[in-house]
Homo-oligomer: A and B are copies of this chain.
Amino acid sequence: MQFPTPISLKQISELINAEIIGNESAEAKGINEIHKVEEGDLVFVDHPKYYNKCLQSAATHIIINTKDIEIPKGKNLLYVENPFEAYLSIVNYFRPFTAATQAINANVQIGENTIIMPNVFIGKDVKIGNNCIIYPNVSLMDYTEIGNNVIIQSGTVIGSDAFYYNTQKSRNVWYKKMLSCGNVRLEDFVEIGAACTIDRGVTATTIIGQGTKIDNMVHIGHDTQVGKNCLFAAQVGIAGAAIIEDGVTLWGQVGVSKTLTIGENAVVMAQSGVPSSLKGNKTYMGFPAEDAGIKRREYVWIRRIPEIWERIMKQA
């Protein structure tokens, strides 16, 4: 999330009751979670395991619960006891949650020749381009951006919250919701099937690239970036912060893990599971997904085990 205008660390420190270690007149451009930080951003970290990752990230200002740490040149710390709560305070200040009270809410822009069918919900600050069709019972949550010539079939939800929690198993309630302040962007000529869910970014933008077509009941996690001209068949699921490059085809019920990359024009056969990155321009199969040719031979080898057994028995 970018702030409307850059904010001085002094102002931020007053908002979250932090001690500034560094230049208090420095300015923060926005706040992002660790996978999406850019120069000028605030980031937060509360576990020693991730201190260094955050300090070495692109973020310029780190909200942290230690002072006993070497600060990289040009960076500033904001010391607080509970960085996660500090994050929540900043999000609540800049993007306060507001209860929608009507089917189409404040600051909604709808382009020419765009059709909004009955029972559609459109949250605040949603922008929809020209020549779109939004079918009945669709929910477009706050800040969603939709290009031109986009079609969304019935029952689909765009911009639901990220499934992203702060975990402490010492608490009575282990998982505490990390508020989402990001959004979803569907580029031109995107088509989304019925009963799909595309989560908004935690702090950044979940993107579906131009011309990508998505079948029914597909789930796409927060902050995932899908390229242009991809084709996802029904019941595909993609976890958070994945990168799916241009021209990728995922057949039915494929599952894709988080924070990995699938290279351009890769094809993943139905029901495969993708636990780690895949190179482009190849066809994959099975769990864990590997080269489809190798996998097919593997199936044949498995069927030959009894024959192998028999041969050994004869030789014994």
Contacts and interface: CB of A to CB of B under 8 A. Distances in A.
Interface of A: 99-103, 115, 117-119, 121, 133, 135-137, 139, 141, 151, 153-157, 160-161, 163, 165, 169, 172-175, 177, 189, 191, 193-197, 199, 210-211, 213, 215-217, 219, 221, 229, 231, 233-235, 237, 239, 247, 252-253, 255, 257, 270-271, 273, 275, 286-288, 298-299, 301-306, 308-309, 311-312, 315-316
Contact of A213 (B137, B175, B301): B175
Specify how many copies of this chain sit in the oligomer. Answer: 3
B316 A311 contact: yes
B239 A233 contact: yes
Contacts of A235: 219, 235, 237, 255
Contacts of A155: 137, 139, 155-157, 195, 197
Given A155-B156, A235-B237, 17 more contacts: A101-B118, A102-B118, A119-B119, A119-B139, A121-B136, A137-B155, A153-B157, A155-B155, A155-B157, A163-B193, A173-B189, A173-B211, A175-B231, A195-B195, A301-B309, A304-B305, A305-B305
A234 B163 contact: yes
A130 to B, nearest CB: 14
A288 B299 contact: yes
Nearest to A214: B163
Given A100-B117, A315-B315, A217 B194 contact: no
Contact of A119 (B137, B141, B175): B137
6 contacts: A100-B117, A135-B139, A155-B155, A163-B233, A173-B210, A270-B275
A302 B309 CA distance: 11
